[in-house]
Amino acid sequence: MASAATTTHAPPAIRGWRGGDFPDWLSPMLVKELRQGIQSGAFALTFATLHTAVVVLMLFWLGIVSGDPDGGRAAGGFCRSLFWALLGAVLVLALPLRGLNAIRSEEAGQTFDLLRLTRMSSTQIVVGKWVAIMAQVLLVATAVLPYVVLQYFLGGYSVFADLAVVGLLVVAAGFATALAIAISGQTTFFRGLAGFTLPVVMGWGGLIAIVSGSLRLSADLAMTLLVLAAASILTLLEFAAAGIAPPSENHALRKRLLALGFATVVVCMSAVWAAQRSSGILQVDALIWIQTGLMPLIGLLVLGELLSDTVPRRSLYEPFARWGAVGGLLAALFTPGWATAVPFTVLLMLLLAPCLPLLAPDPGSLEQFAVVFVLIAAGLLLPIPFTRLVKGTAFRGLVSILVTIASFLPLFYLEQPRISPASPAIPILEVIVACLPFPLLARGGHLTPGATTLLGPLLVTAIVWVPLVDPWLAEMRSLRGMLAACRRLRGDRLPRAADQGT
């Protein structure tokens, strides 16, 4: 037992230093996850089971081909489907599902407090867990490559097409893992629900694998999937990190920068699309697909911020206080809370607005796009006054959904003339419906683009927002006060430091 008697002597080195098995530059969380994975044997069992099954399958296929080359082709279809199903099940289902326990295991083991006191940020924790699972995914994907090549010799299947499918499965696994980790911080009920529905959702990877014979991965599709997967993974991991982060970490800044980044990509792609159209060059479909895929992510990020609370921690405002007026403006856009999310949303909409004329092929389409755009913008802001009546992001999200659905209900009224042409239309209701900020109302045939459909939703949203103006102004004043306090403290600190120096 160590005692005061031994404290004056250098302690004997621990026999066999084992801390160098992973380099220092690797994330500590990744190292931990990999070491635990090795100790637990779960991965080894999965790996060995997959290989055993695939080897048996290949031997079966080989046996058939050897005996009857024609029959081998027929059996090959079945064997290939089974191979891809097995691989899909492991890569897109079994391994990513371990992410469902990623955050809960830390909470159950009561280790989060210990982690928060280290230098690891919440982002490092989450990314480390994601990378650990993806390392195992890549290991499995690499290990099955010989079997992919073998299929060429057994049935003449295209190696490159098959390699592309393996790549697709890895990308799908990345998305599935990020989704599982993002959900892993939720309540037991929600995780249980996700644990039931996620296999169904993630099973699409397996389905794609099964039908890979008819799937031709075009360059456009590949680029789209890659970009959208990367964007989704970034978004999901950011949500996961924000969920476990202490108040001192400004995840509002990161989420909003992510949204801005995606919006910038959308604008750039719109410009490229417009340039291709005007110059007559063959247009890349991926540009439109990627933009369409990024918009929901931007919406999700913005909505999350609009539902969030202000965090009155001076440490979050100090970095902005150093930059004077510019810092004040940045703080009004990038500090946590619904109040700053409103001007940020407006900024984002202004940034995306130029996409409309770039994407619209003709003036008529531009008007339609403009109506949809205005409805989306108004639709994001309309529920906020209602969400401020409840506490908790989950409840606010629910209220937001309910308000949006309520805006959708009049669409059924609009459908009446189609179902029952004899029903009389009530003009005033049509005007009201036209003013409700819900994008589906802009479906062709229901609304004619014009001043009403452009200004109506904005006017309605503004009216609903009237009770929230004072609270919003109070929040912005509080932000100014926080920045002023930071500047005062910095001014107070400087003379003391100078005094100590003398």
Helices 251-279, 285-306: axis angle to 10 degrees equals 150
Beta carbons within 8 Å of 183's beta carbon, 6+ residues apart: 100, 190, 191, 194, 198
Beta carbons within 8 Å of 63's beta carbon, 6+ residues apart: none
Q: Nearest approach, Cβ of 122 to other proteins (angstroms)?
A: 13
For other proteins, which is the closer residue by CB, 224 or 250? 250
For other proteins, which is the closer residue by CB, 278 or 500? 500
For other proteins, which is the closer residue by CB, 119 or 502? 119
Strand, coil or helix: 246 = coil
- The DSSP string of 183-218 is HTTS-HHHHHHHHHHHHHHHHHHHHHHHTTTT----
For other proteins, which is the closer residue by CB, 243 or 379? 243
User: Using an 8 Å Cβ cutoff, are 483 and 327 in contact?
Assistant: yes
For other proteins, which is the closer residue by CB, 124 or 276? 124
For other proteins, which is the closer residue by CB, 371 or 486? 486
For other proteins, which is the closer residue by CB, 70 or 113? 113
Q: Nearest approach, Cβ of 319 to other proteins (angstroms)?
A: 12
Q: Nearest approach, Cβ of 180 to other proteins (angstroms)?
A: 19
Q: Nearest approach, Cβ of 80 to other proteins (angstroms)?
A: 36
Beta carbons within 8 Å of 134's beta carbon, 6+ residues apart: 173, 174, 177
Q: Nearest approach, Cβ of 25 to other proteins (angstroms)?
A: 10
Q: Nearest approach, Cβ of 314 to other proteins (angstroms)?
A: 5
Strand, coil or helix: 444 = coil
Cα–Cα nearest to 399, from 412, 409, 389:
389
Phi-psi category of residue 445: left, alpha or beta, with phi > 0 → left and psi -120 to 50 → alpha: left
For other proteins, which is the closer residue by CB, 31 or 458? 31
Give CA–CA dist 456/433, Å, rounded.
9
User: Using an 8 Å Cβ cutoff, are 273 and 287 in contact?
Assistant: yes
Q: Nearest approach, Cβ of 7 to other proteins (angstroms)?
A: 6
Sign of the four-CA dihedral 208, 210, 215, 219: positive
* H-state helical runs in 382-450: 384-387, 393-408, 410-419, 427-435
User: Using an 8 Å Cβ cutoff, are 161 and 121 in contact?
Assistant: no
Q: Nearest approach, Cβ of 315 to other proteins (angstroms)?
A: 5
Q: Nearest approach, Cβ of 186 to other proteins (angstroms)?
A: 21
Eight-state DSSP code of residue 425: P
Site residues for other proteins per CB under 8 A: 1-4, 6-7, 11-14, 17-20, 24, 28-29, 31-32, 35-36, 39-40, 109-111, 113-120, 246-248, 313-315, 318
For other proteins, which is the closer residue by CB, 40 or 52? 40
